[in-house]
Structure 1
Amino acid sequence: MAITTDNSNSFCLFWDVDRSKLDINVHKTFIIERVLKYGIIEDVLWLLKTYSEDDLIKTIKSSKNIDRKTANYWALHLGIKKEDVICLNRPLIHEQFY
């Protein structure tokens, strides 16, 4: 099923792809990552209705595209151990100056 106005509120999340070719089953990981990183509350509510908790957990655990803050929030929210989340266990690429 493609993302349409009926099932997603923020088309701006997918500005760089052809939404008519974006399938909610085939591109599940990509969609979950985008909504978790950039979505507003309506997008997150749509995500929670569209995908199972297991889908979210698998994506959060394995994603290298989610930032640390997002991953930490969702790990706490879904009860995922931090050591199971890849992006929380890899070293920072950029040195932090603060």
Structure 2
Amino acid sequence: MKKPITIDDFSQHLFWDVDLADFDFQKHKSHLIQKVLEYGLMNDWNLLKEVYGLETIKEVSLNLRSLDAVTLSFLATIFQIDKKEFRCYKHKQLFPTYWNS
């Protein structure tokens, strides 16, 4: 019998700013998904897929306000979606950086 996945199974460096005693997988879903996508290890990605499934990860990631360029490319490839459909891509186009372009 497989033991249920807990927050302690994920890499601890992801949650330096979170009180793990109060962490809820449903309530903090977008926070967990974003942290794992941007800073997680491959093991964290596999755990994330087990907890939420690819469809939920896709829905949440499409609506995140910010993702780094590498993560955005990874998700666009995994889900076979154009980068322009992600909210973070649209948001970045609305507010270009002129000093460090």
Structure 1 distance, partners of 2:10, 2:100, is 37
Match of 1:94 in 2: 97
Give the superposition deviation at 1:71: 1.5
Q: Which runs of 5+ in 2 are unaligned?
A: none
Structure 2 distance, partners of 1:65, 1:14, is 18
Structure 1 distance, partners of 2:98, 2:71, is 19
| Structure 1 residues 46 and 36: alpha-carbon distance in aligned structure 2, compared to 1, 3 A threshold | same
Secondary structure at the aligned position of 1:24 is classed as: coil
Secondary structure at the aligned position of 2:62 is classed as: helix
| Structure 1 residues 17 and 74: alpha-carbon distance in aligned structure 2, compared to 1, 3 A threshold | same
Q: Which structure carries more helix by proportion?
A: 2
| Structure 1 residues 66 and 38: alpha-carbon distance in aligned structure 2, compared to 1, 3 A threshold | same
Structure 2 distance, partners of 1:80, 1:96, is 30
Structure 2 distance, partners of 1:4, 1:63, is 21
Structure 1 distance, partners of 2:55, 2:19, is 27
| Structure 1 residues 96 and 87: alpha-carbon distance in aligned structure 2, compared to 1, 3 A threshold | farther
Moved over 4 A (4+): none
Q: TM-score of the superposition, structure 1-length normalised?
A: 0.82
The CA RMSD over aligned residues, in Å, is 2.2
Match of 1:74 in 2: 75
Q: What is the percent sequence identity of the aligned residues?
A: 25
Q: Which runs of 5+ in 1 are unaligned?
A: none
Point out the structure with max Rg over C-alpha: 2
Secondary structure at the aligned position of 1:25 is classed as: coil
| Structure 1 residues 84 and 35: alpha-carbon distance in aligned structure 2, compared to 1, 3 A threshold | same
